Amino acid sequence: IAAMLVEMFPTRIRYTSMSLPYHIGNGWFGGLLPSITFAMVAQNGNIYHGLWYPIGIAAMTLVIGLLFVRETKDVDIYAND
C-alpha cells in the first residue's frame, strides 16, 4: 500500500506527505485500540464486541480509499517536479 500511495505525491514532499498520515493513523487508531475495545467489551459484556472497532476502521479506510485514491498506472510521477 505504501508503494502505491507514495506515487500520489510529488517527490519534494513525498516523505512528509506519507509520514504524517502514517504516524497520526498509527498513533490514534492503533494506539487507542486497546482502550477503546476494552471499553466496548466492558460496556456490552460480550468479549467479541470489541472487534467492531477495527472492522469499522477497516471499512472506513476501504470507502475513503475507493473514493479518493486514483490510479497511477502509466502516469509519469516526475512530471510535476
Whether 28 maps to a domain, the answer reads: yes
Q: How many domains does the chain have?
A: 1
Residue 24 belongs to domain spanning: 19-68
Give which of 71, 70, 52 is closest to 60, Cα–Cα: 52
Does the pLDDT at position 80 exceed 70?
no
Whether 62 maps to a domain, the answer reads: yes
Whether 54 maps to a domain, the answer reads: yes
Rg of the chain over all Cα atoms, to the nearest angstrom: 17
Whether 6 maps to a domain, the answer reads: no
3-state SS record for the chain:
CHHHHHCCCCCCCHHHHHHHHHHHHHHHHHCCHHHHHHHHHHHHCCCCHHHHHHHHHHHHHHHHHHHHCCCCCCCCCCCCC
Q: What is the pLDDT of residue 49?
A: 94
Q: What is the pLDDT of residue 81?
A: 64
0.75 surpassed by pTM? no
Whether 59 maps to a domain, the answer reads: yes
Whether 46 maps to a domain, the answer reads: yes
Whether 30 maps to a domain, the answer reads: yes
Whether 24 maps to a domain, the answer reads: yes
